[in-house]
Amino acid sequence: MFSFICKRDGKIVPFDSKKIGKALQAAINASGIDDTESIDEITLDVVQYLEEYYHNSIPHVEDVQDAVESILIKS
């Protein structure tokens, strides 16, 4: 598993999957949908996707956003 992520400003910081869950929660709240149960499942799917594609490198924030979008489209 990768341990770091590259932020937009180029800083390399520790990866925290909880931030994906918080972003998903905010999006769900904004949409008015009442489906908080799937947040953990989607977060896990995103992390697995990122591990598959970035296991030997450091993903960028934009890569995480693309992964979330891809997983949401599939689900």
User: Helical H runs in 32-74?
Assistant: 39-54, 61-74
Residue pLDDT, tens place only, 56-73: 899 999 999 999 999 988
Q: If pLDDT is split at 50, 70 and 90, which confidence band does 1 have?
A: low
Q: Is 2's pLDDT higher than 80?
A: no
Q: What is the pLDDT of residue 28?
A: 82
- Give this prediction's pTM: 0.84
User: What share of residues in the chain are helix, strand, coil (percent, to 5)?
Assistant: 65, 10, 30
Burial of 57 (0-12, 13-18, 19+ CB in 10 A): exposed
Residue 65, pLDDT score? 93
pLDDT digits (tens, 9 = 90+) for 26-51: 888 888 776 667 888 999 999 999 99
